[in-house]
Amino acid sequence: MLYGIIAGVVIVLLLLCIRIVPQANEWVIEFLGKYYTTWKAGVHFYIPILERVAKKTTIKEQVLDAPPQPVITKDNVTMQIDAVVFFRVFDSKMYTYGAVNPISALENLTATTLRNIVGEMELDATLTSRDMINGNMAAILDEATDQWGIKVSRVELRNIIPPKEIQNAMEKQMKAERDRRETLLQAEGHKAAAITRAEGDKQAMILAAEGERDARIARAEGEAKAIFLARQAEADGIKALKEAAADYAVLELKKYESLIQVANGQAAKIIIPTDAVEAVTKNVLFSETSGLGDTTKPGTKQPEEVKADPCCD
């Protein structure tokens, strides 16, 4: 019975001496009041009275939301600025023994660093240089907190609130700037429209001139081709007559046909070549002499009226 009680007490003591460190956590252990070791995640054996858990820390990234700070710019404008600091503990021993309250120290260091950086800048630069301010603050805080076991990954300015009168002036300035841009855009639009219309008119005139030129060229080419074809037809006709060995009568007949065509025109005067006149004259004389060309039938004699004999009545 006694042995069973002793065994139970031993088991209870052993269970009390076992410690389990959760994931993403570290425990700083002191032995007889001095730093002994740092427990990582897992199961560890703990000696009561002799050993003590000095601090339990998390190695996950944490966020420090600094309250708004009054900051004076280089041109003497007081603004309210609040920043957000992202950090994590990379050394639990330094985090435990480096500062009494590392989070409070980081918060105060953030406020003073922000005042120093913004105090060297004017209002307009402060409002338009957030990335530069964030980068400078992150570099300064990371270097200063290394001795506390803290790694600052980044800093973000969340709000920059200028005074009310400055906000009103900025709104008026922005409205004036927008009005100016609108006026410039309208002027540029009218200018572009006028240029476009002028270019369009110029192009239309050029195209019209080119079209008229092409039409004239086409008409001239058509007339030239028609004249060429007419002359070609005449040449082919003459060549055909020569090849057919046409006699003088046929050629004279062609001359007559040409005269008929000339007479069918609208001209008030007709100039007939001398050779054509001579040919017609010769043909007329030949016809009158020989009678070959006369197609008029001779008329019949009218019977003489018989007079009555008065002696026979």
> What is the H or E stretch that residue 89 is in?
strand 78-89
In this predicted structure, what is the pLDDT of residue 268? 52
Q: Tokens in use for 87? A: 């950090």
In this predicted structure, what is the pLDDT of residue 262? 57
Give CA–CA dist 245/265, Å, rounded.
Answer: 31
Q: In 3D, which of 33, 31, 130 has the Cα closest to residue 84?
A: 130
Strand residue runs (E) in 141-283: 150-161
Long-range Cβ contact pairs of 283-291 (< 8 A, separation 24 or more): 283/252
In this predicted structure, what is the pLDDT of residue 92? 92
Strand residue runs (E) in the chain: 18-21, 25-31, 34-39, 42-45, 51-58, 62-65, 69-72, 78-89, 150-161
Q: Is the pTM of this model over 0.85?
A: no
Spatial contact of 133 and 113, defined as CB atoms under 8 Å apart: no
User: What is the residue type of 58?
Assistant: T
Domains of the chain: residue spans and CATH: 2-55 (no CATH), 62-162 (3.30.479.30)
pLDDT in tens, the chain (313 residues): 777 777 777 777 777 788 889 999 999 999 988 999 999 999 988 888 888 999 999 999 999 988 888 888 888 888 888 899 999 999 999 999 988 899 999 999 999 999 999 989 888 888 888 899 999 999 999 999 999 999 999 999 988 888 888 878 878 888 888 888 888 888 988 888 899 899 888 989 998 898 888 888 988 888 888 888 887 887 777 777 667 665 555 556 666 566 566 555 555 555 555 555 555 555 544 444 444 444 444 444 445 554 554 444 4
In this predicted structure, what is the pLDDT of residue 165? 85
CA distances to 95, 124, 142, 282 from 153, rounded to whole Å, are 16, 27, 7, 129
Q: Which residues contact 150 (CB under 8 A, 6 or more apart)?
A: 87, 88, 89, 90, 95, 102, 106
Give CA–CA dist 242/276, Å, rounded.
Answer: 20
**What is the DSSP annotation of 141-157?**
HHHHTGGGTEEEEEEEE
Sheet holding 51-58, edge to edge: 34-39, 25-31, 51-58
Q: Tokens in use for 21? A: 């460190």
CA 129-116-98 angle, 5° bins: 115
Strand residue runs (E) in 147-206: 150-161
Q: Which residues pair with 155 in a beta bridge?
A: 85
> Tokens 């120290």 correspond to what residue?
105
In this predicted structure, what is the pLDDT of residue 89? 94
In this predicted structure, what is the pLDDT of residue 103? 92
Strand, coil or helix: 47: coil
Q: In this structure, what are the phi and psi dihedrals at residue 32, rounded to the nearest 5 degrees?
A: 55, 40
In this predicted structure, what is the pLDDT of residue 125? 85
CA 76-80-81 angle, 5° bins: 110
Q: Tokens in use for 106? A: 């980081």
> Tokens 């200018």 correspond to what residue?
191
Give CA–CA dist 69/80, Å, rounded.
Answer: 5
In this predicted structure, what is the pLDDT of residue 286? 45
In this predicted structure, what is the pLDDT of residue 294? 47
Buried b (16+ CB within 10 A) or exposed e, 243-279: eeeeeeeeeeeebeeebeeeeeeeeeeeeeeeeeeeb
Q: Which residues contact 57 (CB under 8 A, 6 or more apart)?
A: 25, 26, 27, 28, 89, 92, 95, 96
Give the number of residues written for the chain.
313
